[in-house]
Structure 1
Amino acid sequence: MVQRIIPVQSPLNADFENFVHETLQKWHVPGMSIAVVDGEHTWAEGYGISSFPSTPVTPSTLFFAGSTTKAFTAAIMAQLVEDNKTYPQVQWKTPVNQLIRDDFVLADEYATQHITIEDTLSHRTGLPRHDQSYGNNLSRETAVRELVRSLRYLPLTAEPRTKFQYCNLMFVAASHVIQTVTGKWLGDLLSRQIWKPLDMKATFFSLEDAQVAKEDLARGYSYPLFDEDDDNDETKYKEVGWMSLNEISGAGSVVTNVLDYAKWARSLMYKTGPLSSETYKAIWEPRTVMPADPDAPFTGPSAYTLGWWTGVYKGYQYYEHTGGMNAFGAELILFPELKYSVILLGNTAGTSNCAAKKLAFHLIDEKLGIPAEKRFDWDQYNKAIIDRAKERDQNSIKHLYPSLPSPRLPAILPLSAYTGTYTHPGYQTLTIYLDQAENILRADRTYTTWSESLSFEHVSGDYFIARSVHDGDLGAFVPTVYPAEFVVGVDGISQKVGVGFEEEMGKEGRIWFERV
């Protein structure tokens, strides 16, 4: 009897294409590239617009991959740990301060002496994000060291190893360790030790290299007037300039396409190299238990490994990481037991991640044969997050200042008296000026890595709300709100301003800028 061989069909079919376009329109994402690795098969397609007015996304289109970079940084570090002959001083339990002693100093002496390499790569150092602190257009030669040296001025908000707190800066510190002990730029190490062996010819670690590549580099966009019922008017898209990657380094500098990432995903699932079995074991070992999300569709405990989240979905363990840059989003999820992976790259901030989650799990549910009525509603999940952000913005006074005098107090000084330049050694400068047309205080922090424009709304006395509009994450269409207050000296001059940039510091926590 002749056995009939049924050809494997691509999941990226016409029905899925229609589903993608509906999803991109709903979430206001111009374009997205998607790849699926299923056993020995790889499929990839591009959807929508790479750059307006009409450049299409293809599987070879380059996108910023954001924090999916962290897995590469952890892999390089694991290789150094494994190489006891060349780098015996680099071990998971090695305090970072022993390797970059002059540069790695934290606000707490105990943390300075005890934070290890493993801690920096698993978000348990006690340092929160502090993403609004760094930048200032630094060069490749100086950026990483300057950012690490600024850590000493940033408040910790937990004891070491007691709380998961996502922190890009600690992956920058890990990058500094790698570059210091090897004497090589991290981008060169990644290319030599991972990308070239995997024939990943369209993966880069600098904006400049990506710009001169033969592949098209997508433009990033934001849709600031976000409304899911909007008609997706092309004229409302705002093009966002490509951000420099010097300051992000091993936290998020990769630019790539889904074809190359499919090669990376396959090597991880099959453990075919160039990483060793010991390195694979190290990077996927759970290190930090994650807080439970009762609204998410996962079961059992979840954890952060080294550059990966891991958990269980429908009985299968997955490894996953999202990426978010100014006007770009990425999603990479692997099911090693199934030898199944989905990679998605899009060109908006925040909304492309919402679309990517929905599309990724549609493909995963199709693979697992989950009935439609039993599938998780990712639109509802992500809409709830956005609604909470909108509500926080619309009711910011109630959220940030629940106890105010009635009637509210007038400002102690005329608004013009609060203007001036204020500085903080970790958060740099805050130059406040009076927008006379609208009679409101403003500050433009366009020089930081995650640039933002602040407006100060008076609340009562010397208390204000700082409302931030920026191009990254949810702030692209829902402003971020911070508490802010001024301190006036006995001479009647504003001496300092405190802004609650870091949410982990609590409602009363402030970053204090002193008047120059």
Structure 2
Amino acid sequence: MNQQSNNPLDEEFDQLVQEQLDLWHVPGLSIAVVDGDQTWAKGYGMATLPSTRVTPSTLFYAGSTTKAFTAAIMAMLVEDNDGYPQVQWDTPISQLIRDDFVLATEYATQQVTVEDALSHRTGLPRHDQALGSTAGGSSSTAVRDIVRQLRHLPLTAELRTKYQYNNAMFIVAAHVIETVTGETLGALLARRIWEPLGMSETYFGLEEARGAEDENPLAHGYAYNYADDDGTYRVIEWMSLADVSGAGSVISSVNDYAKWARALLTGSPALFASPTTVREHLWRARTLLPVDQDGSGSGSGSAFTGPGAYALGWETGVYRGVEFFEHQGGMNAFGAELILIPELQYAVVALGNTAGTSNCAEQTLVYHLIDRKLGKPRFFDWDAKNLALLERGKHEAATAIARFYPSLPSPPLPTTLPLSLYTGTYLHPGYGSVTLYLDETGSSEGGGSSVILRADRNQNTWPEILRFQHVSGDFFVAVSEHDGDYGAIYPSVYPAEFRVGAAGKVIALGVGWEKEMGEEKIWFKY
């Protein structure tokens, strides 16, 4: 990598990186900067505690930055009218994978296009807790099973009326690509993008990355011990990526992501038949993003000018007078940030090894570098914004009962049935199963032991361990322990409810997993 005197990764920046690693409790991260024909890259901190340092070749999970690769492969198919005339941006997906792609309404099934799926405007919300509940076997089998689950998941908006981020639709896109080409998405990415660009440190899935560890070591992911705040970390098991496919299966280094960024900035003829494909298709805004309420969105005192938008695997907006294209990624105990500014032929990529908080550190560092490139002093406090988000999350978790159940009897009503009669397996065709069991390890307010209901959702793409806390009658809250994002700092809490039938037996369990559904719950039958 170029080491000229104008290297932005200088000693001053090194100090800022260390401050961010300490503030956000991130063991390590790596950063690369592309500036015209120059590239700089550097590793900071630890890839594996206690002594394996991060280098620019260290592998990290790249999370949702995978989506840009998936969209790029789809663009190649759209360009190839001789080989794949049936694949166009406005092609309904049901015409391409007719047996597998069905949504909750006939209209959505028939009308959702390739472009809709890649721009988060299908009307289907995240439903992330549904992913993986019935998948198994090979990656292709898992992907097909997840696509077939979608017919059982409620829509929460009309088609093309609302931005709703959705990982499952990029899994759908992967299934479309693999079905029409007869190749795996990983093989296509290697043949059509990574090999032409010389990206020798990029892999599709955990198994491929582990197979290359002798050459390119894979960082471990960590969760900081916030409960004791004692400087220790818990290592998080590497997550299998068979389920997520086109939504998040890439593992790579900043060395390779710098090559990818430069190819996009220059419209590399090694990738696309037309030099305008990136700008006119992949980067063209499709869906307006909601205005943030945390200070980083548009409006007075915000970081950005005007509303942001989602293109195809990219977010776009205006920062300090320049247009940017960006995407974050988050996977169990890993975070990624990639931003490109075509006007300046400038890009920054950062990869880190904690859940959620590495993204916070990366955001401060990336925009610091952009401010320096623009020759402007910092004007937005990303740390304050992200710390406020964490505090808000903690507050919402702590006050969940009052928010979900604002009017409760005093004292609370007992459950209709003995707690043991609520145990067993509950089924939903889209969300799979929830098996409840009694756990006597809970603690009562008096300090003694208590019996609680628990459920282990280890079969899901993003596993959760649920603890059901009784509120009143047959109403509970489900407190989730997980490592997927901010779960290492504060739990996710969902409203939960049981239904007891006329025969005096429990017949259903409802959990409010999907925020876009409002007060409606996902109902599992007993």
298, 302, 310: which one pairs with 2:316?
A: 310
CA distance in 2, matches of 1:222, 1:12: 27
Deviation at residue 460 of structure 1 after TM alignment: 0.9
Aligned to 1:218: 219
Alignment of 1:88-487 (within 5 A): 88-135=85-132, 136-213=135-212, 214-225=215-226, 230=229, 233=231, 235=232, 237-273=233-269, 274-275=271-272, 276-280=274-278, 281-293=280-292, 295-296=295-296, 297-372=303-378, 375-438=379-442, 439-487=451-499
Deviation at residue 7 of structure 1 after TM alignment: 5.6
Deviation at residue 226 of structure 1 after TM alignment: 6.5
Letter in 1 for 2:326: E
SS of the residue aligned with 1:59? coil
Instruction: Report which stretch shifted further, 416-425 or 399-408.
Output: 399-408
Preserved contact between residue 82 and residue 278 of structure 1 (Cα < 8 Å):
no
State the Cα RMSD in Å. Answer: 1.4
Instruction: Report which stretch shifted further, 494-503 or 403-412.
Output: 403-412
Preserved contact between residue 163 and residue 287 of structure 2 (Cα < 8 Å):
yes
SS of the residue aligned with 1:432? strand
CA distance in 2, matches of 1:122, 1:39: 29
SS of the residue aligned with 2:470? strand
Letter in 2 for 1:386: L
Deviation at residue 360 of structure 1 after TM alignment: 0.5
Alignment of 1:3-42 (within 5 A): 8-42=5-39
SS of the residue aligned with 2:376? coil
Letter in 1 for 2:371: D
Question: 1:391-421: per-residue Cα shift (whole Å, max 9, x none)?
Answer: 0111111111122233322211121111111
Residue-pair matches, total: 502
Deviation at residue 238 of structure 1 after TM alignment: 1.1
492, 512, 515: which one pairs with 2:523?
A: 512
Preserved contact between residue 509 and residue 524 of structure 2 (Cα < 8 Å):
yes
SS of the residue aligned with 2:130? coil
Change (3 A) 1:288 1:106: same
Preserved contact between residue 138 and residue 247 of structure 1 (Cα < 8 Å):
no
Aligned to 1:46: 43
SS of the residue aligned with 1:42? strand
Aligned to 1:64: 61
Preserved contact between residue 456 and residue 466 of structure 2 (Cα < 8 Å):
yes
CA distance in 2, matches of 1:95, 1:69: 23
Aligned to 1:81: 78
CA distance in 1, matches of 2:151, 2:258: 39
SS of the residue aligned with 1:332? strand
Deviation at residue 224 of structure 1 after TM alignment: 4.8
SS of the residue aligned with 1:141? helix
Deviation at residue 8 of structure 1 after TM alignment: 4.3
Question: 1:352-405: per-residue Cα shift (whole Å, max 9, x none)?
Answer: 001110111111111112224xx2101110011111110011111111112223
SS of the residue aligned with 1:459? strand
* Identity percentage of aligned residues: 62
Instruction: Report which stretch shifted further, 188-197 or 409-418.
Output: 409-418
CA distance in 2, matches of 1:503, 1:207: 30
CA distance in 2, matches of 1:129, 1:320: 20
Preserved contact between residue 137 and residue 449 of structure 1 (Cα < 8 Å):
no
SS of the residue aligned with 1:436? strand
Letter in 2 for 1:253: S
Preserved contact between residue 137 and residue 447 of structure 1 (Cα < 8 Å):
no
SS of the residue aligned with 1:29? coil
CA distance in 2, matches of 1:480, 1:34: 31
SS of the residue aligned with 1:132? helix
Deviation at residue 137 of structure 1 after TM alignment: 4.4
Question: 1:281-335: per-residue Cα shift (whole Å, max 9, x none)?
Answer: 2101111111122511000221100000000000000000000000100000011
Aligned to 1:3: none
CA distance in 2, matches of 1:46, 1:238: 21
Preserved contact between residue 267 and residue 276 of structure 2 (Cα < 8 Å):
no
Instruction: Report which stretch shifted further, 92-101 or 133-142.
Output: 133-142
Letter in 2 for 1:121: L
Letter in 2 for 1:328: F
Preserved contact between residue 33 and residue 258 of structure 1 (Cα < 8 Å):
yes
TM-score by length of 2: 0.93
CA distance in 2, matches of 1:189, 1:327: 27
CA distance in 2, matches of 1:423, 1:318: 44
SS of the residue aligned with 1:437? strand
Instruction: Report which stretch shifted further, 493-502 or 133-142.
Output: 133-142
Question: 1:68-111: per-residue Cα shift (whole Å, max 9, x none)?
Answer: 00001001101111111111111111110011011000111110
CA distance in 1, matches of 2:488, 2:120: 25
Preserved contact between residue 150 and residue 430 of structure 2 (Cα < 8 Å):
yes
SS of the residue aligned with 1:90? coil
TM-score by length of 1: 0.95
Give unpaired runs (5+ residues) of structure 1. 1-5
